[in-house]
Amino acid sequence: MRTSTLSTIAWLASSLLVKDVVAGRFDARKRDAIRYDVENVWVTEEVTVTKEPDGSYKTGEPVPIATVTINGETTIGVPSSAAPATSAAASTPVVVPSSQAPASSAPASSAPASSAPVVDAKPAVTSSSAAVFIEKPSSTPVAKPTTSSTPVAVPTTAPAPTTLQTQRATSSAAPVASSSAAPVASSGGKKRGVAYNDASLISAFTSDGNIGWAYNWGSSSGGSLPSGIEYVPLCWGSKSFSYWSSDATKAIAAGSTHLMSFNEPDLPAQANMDVPTAVTNYKAQMMPFSGKATLGAPAVTNGLNSAKTMGLDWLSSFVQACDGCDIGFVAIHWYQSIPLTNAIADFKQHCQDAYTAGGNKPVWVTEFQYLVSADENSFLEQILPWLDAPEQSYIQRYSYFMAADGNLNSGTGLSITGNTYASAS
């Protein structure tokens, strides 16, 4: 029972705790696009501290008194069939310290099916020694007040395809030159490709003649592609093994000359394979097509962790462990939200590091995106000439994330960034 006098209560001051609640940025897509764009939410809470007669202090429950969204974006394309739930129940909490600015995350989605391939998800990773993810929730993200001014937990949920963002230490200085090894021979055709879910959107990219290939995280094209565009099937993971051989055989017969393997096996929310498992699966699923198509190593995130089981560390281990494997190229993903100049340097360095980690094999950058929307077009204007330069012949192919309304498309046409991506030469 509280027996504090009025004078005692008057002596007490309510404290305001302001916490940075990371809602993240999520994108879940199949054929019907759902995009959730949520930035930083600041929740102000009032906490009453009461002095008890015995001299101790009692802290009451925090009461939210204000919520402010900073740099928020409009929610796009939420279908009525996927009405958001209000629960934000977590399966495993991921702590993002409130003292550091939260990183943006990239899009997320579900595992692919043979007839309707699915897009990746892009959780964020901090620069700490252990990888930290922000994954796609089962409903619209809800920022909930917490009871402490120390780290705020952001709930994660069930697995969903895709990549990490890392915050590697970079500088604005020009990156080091690529490996001194002899340049890699071109795979033929055009480097630039398009990642898609809806095949009908690809035609918007073809008028400038810069696009040469496309893929959709699946093993069948899901529709007709424009003439001159090579479809590249992907054996996403164990969920696609039952139909992979049949689909890959059909794709090769239809003109596909390359096959990709396993989407982000280094990420539990994606293909989720350790190196020994991936080697076994690669030999079983990919090696039967050796000599029939050029085969790609599993596509890894740009994640980092102390155990060296992510990103380029995972890739290097795989290439070394896969004895007798036919690996024609290695595939990488990259997402970042650091300042533009640093991001450009980081991307270049990451590509060069991937060439080394992959045993000097050709590099495919099958997913990449700069996550600061205000500078995204500028990023492309600066990075595309670099990717296409003769000095980067070791980068055989690349595809920016992705052909969809709100990304490279605006409706069925091209967005500003989409036009830059399609037309830059």
Q: What CATH code is carried by the domain that includes residue 223?
A: 3.20.20
The pLDDT value recorded for residue 52 is 76
Which region among 36-40, 232-236, 246-250, 318-322 has the lowest average model confidence (pLDDT)?
A: 36-40
Average pLDDT on 27-33 reads: 35
Q: Helix or strand or coil: residue 59?
A: strand
Strand residues in 76-204 grouped as ranges (E): 92-96, 152-156, 192-196
Q: Reply yes or no on whether the pLDDT at 21 is more than 50.
A: no
pLDDT tier, 45 (very low <50, low <70, confident <90, very high otherwise):
low
In 150-257, which ranges are E strands?
152-156, 192-196, 213-215, 230-231, 234-235
* Model confidence pLDDT, tens digit, residues 295-312: 999 999 999 999 999 999
pLDDT at residue 51, rounded to an integer:
74
Determine the residue type at 206: T
pLDDT at 43: 54
251/294 Cα distance (integer angstroms): 13
| CB-based contact 66:19 (threshold 8 Å) | no
**What confidence category does residue 47 fall into, taking pLDDT thresholds of 50, 70 and 90?**
low
Question: Between 124 and 55, where is the model more confident?
Answer: 55
Is 95 a member of any domain? yes
109-to-7, 64, 121, 411 alpha-carbon distances in Å = 57, 32, 5, 20
**Which pTM was predicted?**
0.64
Residue 405, pLDDT score? 97
pLDDT tens readout for residues 135-183: 322 323 223 333 333 333 333 333 333 444 444 433 333 333 333 333 4
CA–CA gap between residue 164 and residue 123 (Å, rounded): 5
Mean pLDDT of 277-293: 99
Task: Give me the number of domains the chain comprises.
Answer: 1
- Specify the pLDDT at position 335: 99
pLDDT of the residue at 65: 62
| Chain centroid offset of residue 149 CA | 29
Alpha-carbon dihedral sign for residues 303, 308, 313, 315: negative
Average pLDDT taken over every residue of the chain: 73
Q: Say if residue 79's pLDDT is above 50.
A: no
Q: How confident is the model at residue 11 (pLDDT cuts 50, 70, 90)?
A: very low
| Per-residue pLDDT at 348 exceeds 50 | yes
1 domain residue, yes or no:
no
**Contact (CB, 8 A) for 186 and 363:** no
Higher pLDDT among residues 21 and 287, named by residue: 287
Q: How high is the pLDDT of residue 59?
A: 77
Distance CA 91, CA 89 (A): 7
**Residue corresponding to tokens 């007839």:** 115
**20 occurs within a structural domain:** no
Confirm whether 268 is domain-assigned: yes
* Spatial separation of the C-alpha atoms in residues 406 and 33, rounded to whole Å: 10
Enumerate residues 6+ apart whose C-beta is below 8 A from 333. 120, 162, 163, 164, 264, 299, 300, 301, 302, 365, 366, 367, 368
What pLDDT is attached to residue 55? 76
- The answer to whether residue 127 sits within a structural domain is yes
d(CA 404, CA 282): 30
Which is higher by pLDDT, 239 or 108?
Answer: 239
Q: CB of 232 within 8 A of CB of 202? A: no
With bands split at pLDDT 50, 70 and 90, how would you rate the model's confidence at 355? very high
Q: Which of 231, 233, 225 is nearest to 200 (CA)?
A: 225
Instruction: Give me the percent of the chain exceeding a pLDDT of 90.
Output: 55
Check whether 370 has a pLDDT greater than 70.
yes
**Strand order from edge to edge, sheet including 294-300:** 230-231, 213-215, 192-196, 395-403, 363-370, 329-336, 294-300, 258-263, 234-235
> 320 or 7: whose pLDDT is higher?
320
Report the distance separating Cα 135 and Cα 283, nearest Å: 30
| In a domain? residue 48 | no
Report pLDDT digits (tens) over 397-408: 999 999 999 999
Say if residue 353's pLDDT is above 70.
yes
> What is the Cα–Cα distance from 410 to 421, expressed in whole angstroms?
13
Domain-embedded: residue 158: yes
Backbone angles phi, psi at 391, to 5 degrees: -65, -20
Is the pLDDT at 359 greater than 50, yes or no?
yes
In a domain, 145, yes or no: yes
Task: Determine the pLDDT at residue 108.
Answer: 41
Q: Which range of residues forms the domain containing residue 127?
A: 90-425
CA–CA separation, 228 vs 243, rounded Å? 26
